[in-house]
Amino acid sequence: MRKILVGMSTCGMSAGAKDTYARLESLLPADSPHELTITGCIGMCFREPLVEIREGSTRTIYGDVDPARAEEIFEKHIQGGQEIPEYIIYKIEDDQPTGGQELNFLAGQQRIVLRNCGLINPESIDDYEARGGYQATRKAIAEMEPTQIIEEMKTSGLRGRGGAGFPTGLKWSFAAGYDGEAKYVVCNADEGDPGAFMDRSVLEGDPHAVLEGMIICARAIGGTHGYIYCRAEYPLAIHRLELAIEAARERGYLGPDIMGSGFSFDISIKQGAGAFVCGEETALFASIEGERGMPRIRPPFPAESGVFGQPTNNNNVETYANVPWIINNGGQAYRAFGTEKSPGTKVFALAGKIAKGGLAEVPMGMTIEEILFGIGGGIKDGREFKAVQMGGPSGGCIPAALKQTPVDFENIPKTGAIMGSGGMVVMDDTTCMVDMARFFLTFTQDESCGKCTFCRIGTLRMLEILERITRGEGQPGDVEALTELGGRIKEASLCGLGQTAPNPVLSTIRYYMDEFKAHIEDHSCPAGNCPALVDFVIDPEKCNGCSACAKNCPVEAISGTLKHPFVIDTEACVQCGKCITSCSFDAIFKTGKKVAAR
Amino acid sequence: MVSTDFSYRLWRHDGTPGELIPLLQSAQEHFGYIPRRAIRYISEVTKTPESKIYGVITFYSQFRLQPMGKNVIRLCTGTACHVANSGMLLDTLQDELGVEVGGTTEDGVFTLFSVACIGCCSLAPVMMVNDDTQGKLTPAATRKIVRKIRRQTLASERQAQATSDAETAPAAD
Ligand SMILES: Cc1cc2nc3c(=O)[nH]c(=O)nc-3n(C[C@H](O)[C@H](O)[C@H](O)COP(=O)(O)O)c2cc1C
Ligand code: FES
């Protein structure tokens, strides 16, 4: 019997996994000895859709499986028992990677959080239990005292994966120390950093691991009810969580008197409603309560007064997903990975101009270069590595020159970026850093809840300056004004959003002053990105002379004869971009002025 | 399972705190947006002033006070998509549809939104049309998709109209 698994998470499905699954389903006769099922994301988003054929302890993973390829795999491998080496991206025998085109991508990883992602059917609690699922819950409830659980967490040295890196064991011990009518265990699944998607992947690929982490936490701190606050943009994650909670209740892992211990705990899902600031924990609590998601002043800290004013412990999805592994294997075993001050592993989302975009879980302390080039395969289209953005709207850009920096809670902040949730957006020589600074500020400006004056108005003033600079209307003193405003906003904001909002701007000023100068003094965009500062050019190879661009040009700067390549008069052009968006052949592009002059 | 039925939720409401947002979500699910009367019902049942409900609605970007078009386009403007030039796609969509972000076309076929990351960063730039995600877009590809959907929507509307005309027409012979 062969087991056929199709990767069905959001990334797989948007690459067409549904069609692949449907084709396989239609090919498989009703009385087939082979079994077709779904699985989560194994992290190789760049080769989706993925199909795995599992036979005993041999796992063969095929990449880029469209329906036609699925048919071929069905005939040759599933029915005929013949592998198709050209399509194999990864092969595992007895849990050891043995070959395939993408061997390096997975072989360099250490998977604790992602231990089940891409391996089990996330909608089946049986699959999860077969992989040792809920053993940690049993152990924590039947064999351990709550204080022992907390001690084990402290030993592991696990630090919160939501961004700030606060020691989890310590946080739990605080929450254990307060009493209230109720005590809440909250899971932050708001994943607001645009460019990070590991929480989604864990929720879609291994939802029970998160539930287990929350149950164990509740046992340790005396929690009475759990909330998972999940962003509405993740409908599949919410669906799979609902199924998992239902199944866990049926098996008696959730609900009253869990496993006859007298300990009762249940979990409900709260769907976010689209506000980045709700990822901040006090704003998140306000949102659970049905209020506008505005941050509150601390103290009192959540351990004392969180949701509905009751003692509360809040952790990130990835933090909870680590817990069952730690309880099963011991805190010391966890410490064996990573560095002294940042133990364990971390999942990174590789995106942007990287050759192999996806998820990679590695021990803390690996260098940026090892992650981006060793695992991620370097830069897309062989271009030049310019920078990597970490920490999203709260973080910063780390320039290529610092690629030897170890990625952990100690070293990343030294560069001006932060660990954040682990999103790594890679930039090449065509990315304008001034524009990136503007981009992040647009985001935080929009998402500021409006409570603090500096965050609300200060970010707007910074944004106005940056917009002027990218339009080529920068003035002497702009950079100084940005720096000063940034400092003030950091000082005078209540929550992390405002306190970190200037970071993307300040870190780009620190490393890319030359680009700021080019925009302000020379009115040019070296990366060839900012529309007002570049030339628009028609690629004669692609242009088929339809004249759509010329008709749409408001200043009649485009001319030519029908059915022959058109040309843009760069002197007359006002860089409005209408020609690019009206071209049906993607024949028009932007280029740095210097290049065009050559 | 979380019930999304709005009237059932309202009827079942027992004063549990924190129900305002789920109630608004089910109202939106039910009506496609949050109409005035839904705010009034919720206010009566939860004993929350309408002004406060309005405050919550306007705080969260998910809630809408206007009906939406038949197809909802969500263009990703997250970091990875921005790096992959999603700004150009936004210009393209605004130009093709003749609306700004948040707007609905005159014929009611499309509503355009921008979102920050739908978690498919490796396929950037990405947009969602209703529940379908489309990746690796260019301005030309984007226009093609939009035009195709407009044709399909208008065609199926005409067909629905024709069927209902045929049904309501008196059986002549
Ligand atoms: C503006 C802002 C947004 C945040 N967004 C998230 C988020 O999306 N997910 C998350 O887990 N933590 C987020 N955090 C961090 C949380 O406030 C909190 O520190 C974290 O959930 C604690 O969990 P941990 O100890 O497991 O890391 C955010 C913080 C700020 C200031
Ligand atoms: S940034 Fe667009 S899908 Fe993530």
Residue B91: give its domain's CATH number.
3.40.30.10
Half-sphere exposure of B72 (CA within 13 A, CB side): 14
Residue A346, classed as helix, strand or coil, is strand
In a domain, B173, yes or no: no
Q: Which domains does chain A have, with CATH numbers?
A: 3-107 (3.40.30.10), 127-333 (3.40.50.11540), 345-428 (3.10.20.600), 433-521 (1.20.1440.230), 531-592 (3.30.70.20)
Same domain, B138 and B96: yes
ipTM of the complex: 0.88
The number of the ligand 1 atom at minimal distance from the alpha carbon of A161 is 27
Closest residue on chain A to B89 (Cα): A581
Same domain, B80 and B160: yes
Same domain, B85 and B149: yes
Q: What is the structure's pLDDT at A598? A: 31
Sequence-ordered strand ranges (E) for A107-256: 184-189, 225-230
Q: What is the DSSP letter of A76?
A: I
Q: Are A58 and A97 in contact (CB under 8 A)?
A: no
The dihedral region occupied by B64, where left means phi > 0, alpha psi between -120 and 50, and beta the remainder, is beta
In a domain, B154, yes or no: yes
Average pLDDT over residues A368-383: 96
Q: For A444-455, give the DSSP string.
A: HHHH--S-SHII
pLDDT at A68 over 60: yes
Q: Are A381 and A358 in contact (CB under 8 A)?
A: no
Same domain, B43 and B84: no
Closest Cβ opposite residue B83 in set A234, A427, A577 = A427
Same domain, B49 and B103: no
Q: What is the structure's pLDDT at A418? A: 95
pLDDT at A593 over 90: no
pTM of the model: 0.93
Answer whether A242 sits within 8 Å of B1, measured CB to CB.
yes
Average pLDDT over residues A558-585: 91
Task: Specify the DSSP element, H or E, that contains A486.
Answer: helix A478-492
pLDDT at B171 over 80: no
Least distant ligand from the CA of A10: 2
Cα(A70)–Cα(A72) distance, rounded to whole angstroms?
5
Same domain, B46 and B75: no
Asked, as a colleague might, if the bond just before A300 is cis with ω within 30 of 0, I would say yes
3-state secondary structure A103-145: HHHHHCCCCCCCCCCCCCCCCCHHHHHHCCCCHHHHHHHHHCC
Cα(A540)–Cα(A536) distance, rounded to whole angstroms?
13
Average pLDDT over residues A436-462: 95
- To the nearest whole number, what is the mean pLDDT of chain B? 89
With pLDDT > 90 as the criterion, what percentage of chain A qualifies?
90
In a domain, B40, yes or no: yes
Q: Of chain B residues 136-155, which have a CB less than 8 A from chain A?
A: 138-141, 143-144
pLDDT at A84 over 90: yes
Over the stretch A199-255, which tens digit does the pLDDT of each residue have? 999 999 999 999 999 999 999 999 999 999 999 888 899 999 999 999 999 999 999
The dihedral region occupied by A100, where left means phi > 0, alpha psi between -120 and 50, and beta the remainder, is left
Whether B106 has its CB under 8 Å from any CB of chain A: the answer is no
pLDDT at A595 over 70: no
Q: Using pLDDT thresholds of 50, 70 and 90, give the confidence band for residue B9.
A: confident
In a domain, B35, yes or no: yes
- To the nearest whole number, what is the mean pLDDT of chain A? 94
Cα(A63)–Cα(A89) distance, rounded to whole angstroms?
6
Structure tokens, B119: 């978690």
Same domain, B106 and B152: yes
pLDDT at A37 over 70: yes
Alpha carbon of B157: minimum distance to chain A alpha carbons (Å): 27
Cα(A55)–Cα(A95) distance, rounded to whole angstroms?
13
Q: Is the CB of B118 under 6 A from ligand 2?
A: yes
Q: What is the structure's pLDDT at B2? A: 45
Whether A539 has its CB under 8 Å from any CB of chain B: the answer is no
Cα(A344)–Cα(A331) distance, rounded to whole angstroms?
10
Cα(A109)–Cα(A347) distance, rounded to whole angstroms?
9
Over the stretch A102-133, which tens digit does the pLDDT of each residue have? 998 988 899 999 999 999 999 999 999 999 99
Same domain, B46 and B119: no
Task: Specify the DSSP element, H or E, that contains A316.
Answer: strand A312-316
Question: How many domains does the structure of chain B reveal?
Answer: 2
pLDDT at A293 over 80: yes
* Residue ranges making up the domain that contains B111: 71-167
In a domain, B20, yes or no: yes
Q: Using pLDDT thresholds of 50, 70 and 90, give the confidence band for residue A591.
A: confident
Q: What is the structure's pLDDT at A217? A: 98
Same domain, B83 and B44: no
In a domain, B172, yes or no: no
Over the stretch A571-582, which tens digit does the pLDDT of each residue have? 899 888 889 988
Q: What is the structure's pLDDT at B10? A: 85
* B116 CA distance to ligand 2 middle (Å): 7
Read off φ and ψ for residue A437, nearest 5 degrees: -60, -45
Q: What is the structure's pLDDT at B170? A: 62
Closest residue on chain B to A584 (Cα): B140
pLDDT at B15 over 90: no
Q: What is the structure's pLDDT at B133? A: 84
Q: What is the structure's pLDDT at B13? A: 85
The number of the ligand 1 atom at minimal distance from the alpha carbon of A231 is 8
Q: Using pLDDT thresholds of 50, 70 and 90, give the confidence band for residue B169.
A: low
Q: Domain boundary residue among B59, B84, B106?
A: B59
Alpha carbon of A197: minimum distance to chain B alpha carbons (Å): 5
Closest Cβ opposite residue B79 in set A46, A194, A581 = A194
Closest residue on chain B to A358 (Cα): B122
Both ends of chain B: CA-CA distance in Å?
51
Q: What is the structure's pLDDT at B122? A: 83
Q: Using pLDDT thresholds of 50, 70 and 90, give the confidence band for residue A75.
A: very high
Q: What is the structure's pLDDT at A557? A: 94
In a domain, B117, yes or no: yes
Q: Which residues of B touch A13 (CB under 8 A)?
A: 133
pLDDT at B148 over 50: yes
Same domain, B148 and B77: yes
Same domain, B150 and B95: yes
pLDDT at B117 over 90: no
Both ends of chain A: CA-CA distance in Å?
64
Asked, as a colleague might, if the bond just before A49 is cis with ω within 30 of 0, I would say yes
In a domain, B65, yes or no: no
Same domain, B54 and B127: no
Average pLDDT over residues B70-90: 94
